[in-house]
């Protein structure tokens, strides 16, 4: 029977007189940490020699494993034995440095700039390949999901439509209203100087429909739902629920990601349309009540300024933005390491990465549209 790599660890010892070189390999996590402390603790008590522990072979570590190292340091200190940890991988070091006792007593060796850069490059290349495979699998699963419900629970898409869409309407409405007020006031401040106050309707309508409503709606959904997706999937991974799904023959991507992609394809354009409508309505209120432009004049100017291509452009971008939010949030959740702290970090990374991707894609689309005109 094949052993689970998450529950296996070994250590090899080389005697150097007053110093013992110990090479640890495998996993230091909640499944193995107790055995790690008991075996090495008994070894230290019997030998009473200084130890240099090589962690280059450690494949993974979580907060429980780091706590075990702290306990081992305290135990060695009581016996007058010193321990130092060498060749610590970047991923392991990032967790260990969260424990001041480890950082002060044991992590004497520091990674060089070139080692850090090389490690970052290797991790980035592996992550890029994994992300491409994830996007491909999620995209194919979503396309197949249009014709078959196999692999996902009944009513999953409707539940996600409510979570991603309906619950976000109040926030989107308030932000749209405030955005319309700001745009109208700022535009009137400039345009009234030239006697062109009526063009406030053009500015508010076109900018809201083409750019601001899709982008700000996506930012709100990213902060509200993108982080929640990453945290939920990450918690399921830490709790080994994803492994349980695979054991039952259920693909986690089809079960968790595909329903959200299908739902956001519906909800994001609707939310964007609501935000654009409220923004234009708020701008109209300022134009009529504050600038005294007249309701009919403002409405006619808005209808003349807006074109069908503006609507297609705004709603089309909103779908792309929605997919980016769900894919990034799901990917960050699936890549969570087995620790409670990593779940919060994944949620934070999902929001930051989503907003960066949204602004980057929006800038690229605007640049291409300008160059093609």
CA quadruple 64, 65, 66, 69: dihedral sign: positive
The CA-based diameter of the chain, rounded to the nearest angstrom, is: 94
Whether residue 68 is found in the same domain as residue 189: no
- Exposure on the CB side of residue 156, measured as CA atoms within 13 A: 17
Q: How many angstroms separate the CA atoms of 123 and 94, rounded?
A: 14
pLDDT at 130 over 90: no
My answer on whether 98 and 166 are in the same domain is no
pLDDT band at 1 (very low <50, low <70, confident <90, very high): very low
Q: Are residues 247 and 335 in the same domain?
A: yes
Torsion sign (Cα): 32, 348, 168, 262: negative
Indicate the length of the chain as a whole number: 373
Whether 142 has a pLDDT exceeding 90, the answer reads no
- Report the 3 state secondary structure along the chain: CCCCHHHCEEEEEEEECCEEEEEEEEEECCCCHHHHHHHHHHHHHHHCCEEEEEEEEEEEECHHHHHHHHHHHHHHHHCCCCEEEECCCHHHHHHHCCCHHHHHHCCCCCCCHHHHHHHHHHHHHHHHHHHHHHHHHHHHHHHHHCCCCCCCCCCHHHHHHHHHCHHHHHHHHHHHHHHHHHHHHHHHHHHHHHCCHHHHHHHHHHHHHHHHHHHHHHHHHHHHHHHHHHHHHHHHHHCCHHHHHHHCCCCHHHHHHHHHHHHHHHHHHHHHHHHHHHHHHHHHHHHHHHCCCCHHHHHHHHHHHCCHHHHHHHHHHHHHHHHHHHHHHHHHHHCCCCCHHHHHHHHHHHHHHHHHHHHHHHHHHHHHHHHHC
Does 95 have pLDDT greater than 50?
yes
Span 111-120, average pLDDT = 62
CATH code, domain with 79: 3.30.750.24
With respect to residue 324, please indicate whether it lies within any of the assigned structural domains. yes
pLDDT band at 105 (very low <50, low <70, confident <90, very high): very low
Which of 96, 111, 126 marks a domain boundary?
Answer: 111
Looking at the structure, do residues 181 and 36 belong to the same domain, yes or no?
no
Q: Per the domain annotation, does 131 fall within a domain? A: no
Structural domain of residue 29, as residue ranges?
5-111
Of the three residues 95, 111, 127, the one that is the final residue of a domain is: 111
pLDDT, tens digit, 9 for 90 and up, residues 160-196? 888 888 888 999 999 999 999 998 888 888 887 777 7
Question: Is residue 14 a part of any domain in this protein?
Answer: yes
What is the phi-psi region of residue 85: left when phi exceeds 0, alpha when psi lies from -120 to 50, beta otherwise?
beta
347 in a domain, yes or no?
yes
Q: Is the pLDDT of residue 158 over 50?
A: yes
Most confident of 89-93, 149-153, 192-196: 192-196
pTM: 0.69
Residues 213 and 303 in one domain: yes
- Same domain for 161 and 304, yes or no, is yes
Q: Is 338 in contact with 29 (CB distance < 8 Å)?
A: yes
Q: How far is CA 261 from the centre of its chain?
A: 15
The count of domains in the chain is 2
Most confident of 25-34, 127-136, 285-294: 285-294
Banded model confidence at residue 220, pLDDT cuts 50, 70, 90: very high
Mean predicted confidence (pLDDT) in 290-303:
86
Q: What is the mean pLDDT of residues 129-149?
A: 79
> Based on the domain organization, do 106 and 208 belong to the same domain?
no
In this structure, the answer to whether residues 95 and 168 fall within a common structural domain is: no
Is 129 inside a domain boundary?
Answer: no
Of 215, 198, 208, nearest in space to 291 by CA: 198
Task: Give the model's pLDDT for residue 78.
Answer: 73
Cβ–Cβ under 8 Å, residues 63 and 339:
yes
Cα(22)–Cα(259) distance, rounded to whole angstroms? Answer: 48
List the structure tokens of 354: 């989503």
Task: Answer yes or no: do 103 and 225 share one domain.
Answer: no
Mean pLDDT across the chain, nearest whole number? Answer: 81
Res. 16 pLDDT band, cuts 50 70 90:
confident
pLDDT over threshold 90, residue 68: no
Q: How far apart are CA 61 and CA 74, in angstroms?
A: 19
What is the pLDDT, as a whole number, of residue 119? Answer: 65
pLDDT at 368: 87
Query: Is residue 89 one of the residues assigned to a domain?
Result: yes
| 59 plus 190 within the same structural domain | no
How far, in Å, CA of 31 to CA of 339, rounded?
12
pLDDT value at 70 more than 80:
no
122 within domain boundaries? no
Same domain assignment for residues 229 and 320? yes
Same domain for 83 and 183, yes or no, is no
Predicted pLDDT of residue 101:
52
Q: Tell whether 125 is covered by a domain.
A: no
């Amino acid at each position: 029977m094949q052993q689970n790599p998450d529950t296996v660890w070994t250590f090899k010892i080389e005697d150097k007189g007053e110093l013992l070189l110990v090479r640890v390999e495998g996993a230091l996590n909640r499944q193995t940490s107790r055995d790690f402390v008991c075996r090495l603790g008994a070894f230290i008590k019997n030998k009473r020699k200084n130890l240099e522990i090589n962690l280059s072979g450690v494949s993974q570590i979580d907060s429980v494993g780091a706590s075990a190292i702290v306990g081992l340091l305290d135990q060695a200190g009581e016996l007058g034995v010193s321990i130092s940890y060498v060749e610590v991988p970047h991923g392991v070091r990032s967790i260990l440095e969260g424990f001041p006792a480890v950082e002060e007593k044991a992590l004497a060796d520091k990674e060089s700039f070139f080692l850090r850069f090389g490690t970052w490059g290797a991790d980035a290349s592996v992550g890029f390949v994994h992300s491409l495979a994830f996007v491909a699998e999620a995209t194919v699963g979503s396309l197949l999901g249009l014709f078959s419900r196999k692999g996902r629970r009944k009513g999953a898409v409707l539940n996600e439509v409510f979570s991603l869409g309906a619950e976000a309407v109040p926030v989107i409405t308030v932000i749209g209203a405030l955005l319309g007020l700001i745009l109208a006031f700022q535009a009137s401040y400039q345009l009234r100087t030239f006697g062109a106050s009526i063009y406030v309707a053009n500015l508010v309508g076109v900018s809201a429909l083409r750019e601001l409503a899709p982008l700000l709606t996506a930012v709100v959904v990213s902060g509200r739902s993108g982080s929640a997706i990453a945290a939920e999937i990450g918690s399921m991974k830490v709790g080994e629920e994803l492994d349980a799904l695979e054991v039952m023959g259920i693909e986690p991507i089809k079960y968790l990601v595909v329903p959200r992609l299908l739902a956001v394809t519906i909800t994001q354009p609707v939310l964007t349309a609501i935000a654009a409508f409220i923004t234009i309505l708020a701008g109209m209120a300022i134009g009529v009540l504050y600038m005294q432009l007249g309701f009919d004049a403002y409405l006619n100017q808005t209808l003349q300024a807006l074109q069908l291509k503006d609507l297609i452009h705004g709603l089309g971008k909103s779908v792309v933005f929605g997919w980016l939010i769900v894919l990034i949030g799901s990917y960050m959740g699936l890549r969570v390491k087995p620790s409670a702290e990593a779940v919060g970090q994944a949620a934070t990374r999902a929001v930051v990465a989503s907003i960066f991707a949204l602004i980057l894609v929006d800038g690229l689309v605007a640049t291409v549209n300008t160059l093609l005109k």
